[in-house]
Amino acid sequence: MSDVLAGTAALLDPAIGLCLLIGVLLGTLVGAVPGITATMAVALAAGFTLTLEPLQGLAVLLSIYVAAQFGDRVPAILVNTPGTPASIASTFDGYPLAQQGRAGIALTSSALASAAGALAGILILVLAAQPLASVALRFGPAEMFALVVFGLTMMVGVSGSNVLRGLVAGAAGLLLGTVGRDPITGDTRFTFGMTELSSGIPFIAAIIGLFGIAELFNQIVETKHKNTPAPITQLGAWWPTRAERRELLKPSAIGTGVGAVVGVVPAAGGDIAGVIAWAQAKRASKHPERFGHGSLEGLASADSASTATMGGSVTTTLALGVPGDSVMAVMIGSMIIWGLQPGPALFVESPDLVYSLAAIMVLATVLALALALVRMQGVVKLLALPQQYLTAIIISFCIVGTYAVQSSVFDVVLMLCFGVVGLLMRRFGFPAGPMVLGLILGPLAESNLRRALVIDGVETVLTSPIAVGLILLSLGAVLLPWLRSTSKARKLRARVPENAR
């Protein structure tokens, strides 16, 4: 109880309140502009927050993360374009509702369902993080190595339809993670005589390049080929009737349940949860024929699920030290720079921090909901802002944010290089997520594996039930998508008549 009181009392600092408010405003704006993901915004903000106190910086980053889950529904509903990947399923019924003249009701219903899902996810964080960390405290080097491998392969497993490309990207990240000093001997490796690389690849420069600059470069390349529908600016009635509010309850409960489970799985973010919850709500609905044609049930299930994943994602990140999603991967890097190592030890060294973060997320959810319930005409106007203006502003912030971390021009050049690499990866279908995780978790996996080998040899990994179980789960995460696609291909070939081949 003392930890709870200490954690919540820390938020009485006016500076933290200001940081939280700034984060909510930024997150709402970020979500409302298609193409600017929450990961990109958090990565960019990370460079500016490193000069703040840890809790102040985390208040900015977490509130951006939370508020972006509300703002991204605006373009999904009004323009049929997801503001972030988490709102993909919101387009299924949100845009049809807007076309029916119910855009205001759709936006309000979405905000209410999103808030319900977010608060339920935060409750999971409060209840599950400590027990999960208590179990993980018993992990030795072998178990930690297996856990890190599990986190890496889970990201690869959900990185897209091509598992091989995900594996290649993850391997490239692991290779980048070896740059710098050897974790055991301290010898420099792969620095090519550049002292700037002696501490490893600058994390902030890498993530801003891979997520921010690469996304902007990709938008520039695709600008001529985009046919974005004109935004619907007539919102109509904005508050759902009593019958419509009752209609939201069941799908919101389904979405919250799905999101709570999916969120705990490393790397399975709101986009996956939203699609799964939408399908489950359709099966449970009395009117499944409305789904995809303007159903409030479909919208509520998708949005509550995508926000419910946040609590589980933060739980996995704090308790196990394995990023729950790409945003948490960025936050892990920032926390390490602040001297906070996510994982079981965090609950011993800073037990009140978890409750502070949960309180920040609750306040950010309430503020984001209040902002979303406003008519949002100002946010709607952002959708008509010329893309070239946004691109110039964001590139400038990327450069300034990267330079501010270490006052290094080398970091800026490296960021631009990673931007080009990220663009090429996107164009050829290689996901950036596994590369980032490899860069973050690679050194942790290497150091734990080598410690385990030094202590007891290779048998220490093979004789630990926990390590073996996690490694088997990791193999399943990589092999199951491949086996599933192979099975589908065989069934399709079996259905094709022999003379048609």
Sign of the dihedral defined by the CA atoms of residues 430, 434, 440, 441, in that order = negative
pLDDT of 235 reads 61
AA letter at 30: V
Q: Report the alpha-carbon distance of residue 234 to residue 65 in Å, rounded.
A: 28
User: Is the CB of residue 256 less than 8 Å from the CB of residue 116?
Assistant: yes
Torsions phi, psi of 382, nearest 5?
-60, -30
User: Is the CB of residue 66 less than 8 Å from the CB of residue 368?
Assistant: yes
SS (H, E, C) 25-47: HHHHHHHHCCCCCHHHHHHHHHH
Please report which helix (H) or strand (E) contains residue 20, including its range. Answer: helix 14-32
Query: Tens digits of per-residue pLDDT, 381-423?
Result: 655 566 677 677 767 777 876 776 677 888 889 989 998 998 9
| Residue 319 C-beta-side C-alpha neighbours within 13 Å | 25
**Candidate from 49-53, 109-113, 317-321 with smallest mean pLDDT:** 317-321
CA dist list (Å): 266 to 133, 152, 157, 201, 341 = 15, 9, 10, 23, 17
Residue 424 pLDDT class (50, 70, 90 cuts) = very high
pLDDT of 342 reads 81
pLDDT of 185 reads 76
Q: Where are the domains of the chain?
A: 2-487
Span 102-121, mean pLDDT?
87
Torsions phi, psi of 180, nearest 5?
115, -145
Alpha helices in 158-190 (DSSP H): 163-177
Looking at every residue in the chain, the average pLDDT score rounds to 78
Q: Report the alpha-carbon distance of residue 34 to residue 52 in Å, rounded.
A: 29
Alpha helices in 158-269 (DSSP H): 163-177, 203-207, 214-222, 242-264
Environment class of residue 144 by beta-carbon count within 10 Å: exposed (0-12), middle (13-18) or buried (19+)? buried
